[in-house]
Amino acid sequence: MNFILKYKLVFIGAAVGALGGFMYYYYVGCASGTCAITSKPLNSTLYGAFMGGLLFSNFIKKS
């Protein structure tokens, strides 16, 4: 439980990024299917979650 509370910003960032990645797939996407990240919803959602987690991890205060 302590781990979750310590890294809650990373989990929030991953959730926001996953939502953003899926929205990017849905609204922009890749019509030809040859794009590596945006050709499938799973790829863009996982990529967005990873990037969101990385971005939000920058805001964790070091003790």
Give the tens place of pLDDT for each residue, 31-52: 887 898 888 999 999 999 999 9
pTM, two decimal places: 0.87
Dihedral of alpha carbons 22, 24, 28, 29, sign: negative
- Residue-by-residue DSSP string for 39-54: TSHHHHHHHHHHHHHH
Domain ranges in the chain are: 6-57
Percentage of the chain surpassing pLDDT 90? Answer: 68
At 26, the pLDDT band (50, 70, 90 cuts) reads very high
